[in-house]
Structures are given as C-alpha cells and as structure tokens.
Amino acid sequence: MEHGSIEREIHVDAPPEVVFEVVSRPEHIREWWPDEASFEPTAGAAGEIRFGDGATGKVEALTVVAVEPPRLFSFRWVYEDGAMPTRDSSLLVTFELFEVDGGTTVRLTETGFRERGWEVAQLEAAYQDHVRGWDFFVPRLGEYVARLVATS
C-alpha cells in the first residue's frame, strides 16, 4: 500500500470565496473538523487545533504555509512540540479550490507521511488514522457549507 499522500475531493454548491473562508478561518473550521481551532489565516502564523475536550483531548500544533484567497490554503501539522515544521518533520495539508459549474470543487491533499521517517508500523497506523479522519471530515465540510449557504 502506498503511504505517500491522501487525496479527497468534494464538490459544493457555493462560490470559492465562501468555501475559502470555510477551510481557512478557525470559526468555520471548528464547525466541521476539530472541536477547537486557534490561528490566524496568514502565511507563517502558528496556532493549534484540538480534538475532544480539554481534559482528554488531543492538541496538534499547526503552522499556516500558504494563503491565496480564494483558491489555496495550506498548513503543516503533526510535528513535535517546539520543533520547526519542515518537509521532513511534519505533514502538509493543502486545500485547492476550483470554480466548477457555479460551485466549488475542493481538493484536499495531505502529504509527508513517508518523509517523517517513522517505523513501518507507525507510518501505517498514522496513514490509516488520517485516511479514516478525512473520510469522516470531508463530507462534514460539504454539509457545513450547505448549511451555511442555506442560512445566508
């Protein structure tokens, strides 16, 4: 099995400007992905996301890599506390947005699994965990955009 990257794609009935906000702003991200998100959507900004409650939750640092409204947002995450997130020490998540048929196609790509230098078992476990995660959260992104557009 290839553990190099994860790719998911979803089409939503909303313009790229709306979808860009949903994938790049903490107040929107926490509605479909983590339980909490805290960062500025500015290249180089550091922040964190949290899954679960404060006592038992998992916190992941993230660093915003690229912000190109309304077509691209990327960040690095899953790196050691205090470390600089690099190609070899973190995972890179990229959201590319394409205007298609009056809506937006969102292409999510996560890379960097092999570059982390993990042992095979750890690599496979991390990769499968992220596959399951994106399989769950990408449809939630679409559902959230639909609710957001319906109420505006």
pLDDT digits (tens, 9 = 90+) for 45-90: 999 999 998 778 899 999 999 999 999 999 999 998 888 999 999 9
- Answer for the pair 128, 136: CB distance below 8 angstroms, yes or no: no
Q: Token pair of 12, please?
A: 């939503």
103: closest CA among 15, 10, 9, 20? 15
Q: Is 22 exposed, middle or buried (0-12, 13-18, 19+ CB in 10 A)?
A: buried
**Fold of the domain built from segment(s) 5-150:** Alpha-D-Glucose-1,6-Bisphosphate; Chain A, domain 4 (3.30.530)
What's the confidence (pLDDT) of residue 137?
Answer: 98
Every domain of the chain and the residues it spans = 5-150
